[in-house]
């Protein structure tokens, strides 16, 4: 149960971090001045090109080289959240780019300032369009928590392996662990589908 708690908590924190920072980074990619866009593009391309395991190890050991001491759990959350942020940002940029430019022009013509154009015109449509890939990213974060065992985080998989070492019930615990991950991701998928239907109904 403690391993399951670590998995759920690290997943939730990483998903929230990735969603908030990813949307901000996506706005920078789309509407930022040239220097900000280049910096955001560099971050997205670099983080998407690094294997998650390498990023977790680099975060855990690399931060210590710069005098930043964080626990293995928080190093894992930072790595997972930072990795997923790049994917959310790119998904958000694609969603915004798919919105006809005439809508922004129409909002501008009636005197809406830029922030309100984003809030009332762009963001509602962008969130609806980026929801399916966002759910996929959330599912990948949950599965990615299994890699945190490499740096000593006792999440669900490592806790199960420790139990196996005591009772040798290998098939039982791997089957149970797999079913728990399926249940978590199935729940996330259902939540995403429900939100998508709600957005579709609100639009109609």
Q: How far is CA 21 from CA 16, 72, 153, in A?
A: 8, 22, 24
pLDDT greater than 70 at residue 57: yes
Tens of pLDDT, residue by residue over 97-142, are 888 877 778 888 887 888 888 888 888 888 888 888 999 999 999 9
**Which range (103-107, 160-164, 177-181) has the least confidence?**
103-107
Q: What is the mean pLDDT of the chain?
A: 88
CA torsion sign for 96, 99, 102, 107 is negative
Overall average pLDDT of the 170-184 stretch: 92
- Across 25-34, average pLDDT: 90
In the CATH scheme, what is the code of domain 2-203? Answer: 1.10.3720.10
3-class secondary structure per residue, 24-72: HHHHHHHHCCHHHHHHHHHHHHHHHHCCHHHHHHHHHHHHHHCCCCCCH
C-alpha to C-alpha distance for 120 and 110, rounded to whole angstroms? 13
Q: What is d(CA 141, CA 115) in angstroms, rounded to the nearest whole number?
A: 31
Select the more confidently predicted residue: 119 or 24: 24
The stretch 157-171 carries a mean pLDDT of 88
- Identify the pLDDT of residue 203: 55
As a whole number, mean pLDDT of residues 144-149 equals 92
pLDDT digits (tens, 9 = 90+) for 71-97: 999 999 999 999 999 999 999 998 888
User: 201 pLDDT band (50/70/90 cuts)?
Assistant: low
Domain boundaries, the chain: 2-203
């Amino acid at each position: 149960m403690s391993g399951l708690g670590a998995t759920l908590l690290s997943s939730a924190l990483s998903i929230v971090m990735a969603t908030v920072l990813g949307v901000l980074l996506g706005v920078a990619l789309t509407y930022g001045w040239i220097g900000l866009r280049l910096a955001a593009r560099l971050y997205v391309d670099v983080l998407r090109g690094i294997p998650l395991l390498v990023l977790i190890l680099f975060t855990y050991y690399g931060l210590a080289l710069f005098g930043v001491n964080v626990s293995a759990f928080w190093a894992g959350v930072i790595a997972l959240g930072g990795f997923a942020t790049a994917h959310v940002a790119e998904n958000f940029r694609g969603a915004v780019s798919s919105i006809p430019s005439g809508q922004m022009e129409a909002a501008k013509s009636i005197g809406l300032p830029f922030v309100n154009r984003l809030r009332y015109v762009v963001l509602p449509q962008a969130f609806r369009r980026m929801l399916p890939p966002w759910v996929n990213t959330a599912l990948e974060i949950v599965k990615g928590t299994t890699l945190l065992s490499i740096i000593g985080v006792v999440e669900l998989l490592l806790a199960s392996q420790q139990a196996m070492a005591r009772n040798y019930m290998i098939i039982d615990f791997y089957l149970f662990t797999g079913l728990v991950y399926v249940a978590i991701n199935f729940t996330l998928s259902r939540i995403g589908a429900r939100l998508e239907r709600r957005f579709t109904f609100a639009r109609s």
